[in-house]
Amino acid sequence: MSHVILEACLGEVYAACVDVCPVECIHPGDYKDQKFMIIDPEVCIDCGVCLPECPIGAIVGSVDESPDWAKINAELTPEFKGHPKVAPRPQNEPPHKPMNKLVK
């Protein structure tokens, strides 16, 4: 089973998860006119190193935890896969959206 990036990432894109992923399965793109990241479910090896890297907790460890966002990640994968990596934001930088809170 793959990890899943959730709606909290939409418009945030801290991208620290990209630097730690050993199989390069996390890709950026635009979704609903906002920056977003997805996890390619075909490549993710469920190692879990990305989970603690997201300062707003926008990644879950299983498709069962968010089937709707798992579907979105899978559907966006072909489009996002070819995009260049994005530079990570500082993890202590406040979220852009007031509903998101730093979890670290």
What mean pLDDT is predicted for residues 73-91?
95
30 bridge partner residues: 35
Q: Residue 46: what pLDDT?
A: 96
Tokens coding 51: 């989970």
What mean pLDDT is predicted for residues 64-75?
98
Percentage, residues of the chain above pLDDT 70? 99
CB 102 within 8 A of CB 34: no
CB 39 within 8 A of CB 25: yes
Length, in residues, of the chain? 104
Q: Residue 104: what pLDDT?
A: 64
pLDDT tens by residue, 21-63: 999 999 999 999 999 999 999 999 999 999 999 999 999 999 9
- Look-up of token digits 């530079």: 87
For each of the domains in the chain, give its residue range(s) and CATH number, in order of start. Answer: 4-80 (3.30.70.20)
| Average model confidence (pLDDT) across the chain | 96
